[in-house]
Structure 1
């Protein structure tokens, strides 16, 4: 019988918390002035790689997003070193950062649905 809450999910959640704290407080890179949110961490089965999905509170163009991702990926060894000090794991996974635009897509869909519902309310009054 498979566990419903396996180890890789728990480690992913803990990594998400620790990485977000490291990015907010320990990284002193002046190129990262934006508020960065770690939205999800996916870990491989052998715990050797972690895909870290980040999003930004501001709406950025693709060029700025790419620059920040390059900075984060270049700093991944530093972040990994800090994780070694904060977590008691035998293997700290290699970290790869990706941009998560699901919040922007969800916001866009929500705005479209709001416009449609307002149009439907207006048409109900005129029928």
Structure 2
């Protein structure tokens, strides 16, 4: 399988999983805004690691992540209705902390800039 095909499949799964999460999951533990940031499918198409970013406090993030992990089978079933491939991969939900890490680095840079202005 070429990288181009894998990339297209990653984007197709990302788009469809995002729609499924927003419109079809009715779990009461889901609170806050959930965004699918990226998807990585293994070469043999047996697993798809779905990275999600969840906005909210720590408790709501944990509850929402648990709800998403428990609904992975439902997401896979719904994905099979919208994507026509021979084998639908197992869905693994992971929390993407890249956005929080980026905001933390940005705040550190701002502190350094402010400290540099005050020293002048």
Aligned length: 120
Q: Of residues 75, 79, 91 in structure 2, which corresponds to 1:83?
A: 79
For residues 72-105 of structure 1, the C-alpha deviation after alignment (integer angstroms, 9 at most, x for no partner) is 1211111111111111111111001011111111
CA RMSD of aligned residues (A): 1.7
Query: 1:44-93 deviations in whole A, cap 9, x for unaligned?
Result: 001110011111122x32x5433322221211111111111111111111
Query: 3-state SS of the aligned residue for 1:95?
Result: strand
Determine if contact 2:14/2:38 at 8 Å carries over to the other structure. yes
Matched, 1:113 2:100: no
> Helix, strand or coil for the counterpart of 2:30?
coil
**Which of residues 41, 44, 53 is equivalent to 1:43?**
41
Q: Distance in 1 between matches of 2:60 and 2:94?
A: 13
Structure 1 residue ranges, 4+ long, deviating more than 6 angstroms after superposition: none
One of 63, 69, 79 as aligned partner of 2:65: 69
SS of alignment partner, residue 39 of structure 1: strand
2:31 to 8, 30, 33: 33
**Distance in 2 between residues matched to 1:90 and 1:51, nearest whole Å:** 18
Structure-1-length-normalised TM-score? 0.85
- List runs of 5+ in structure 1 lacking aligned partners: none
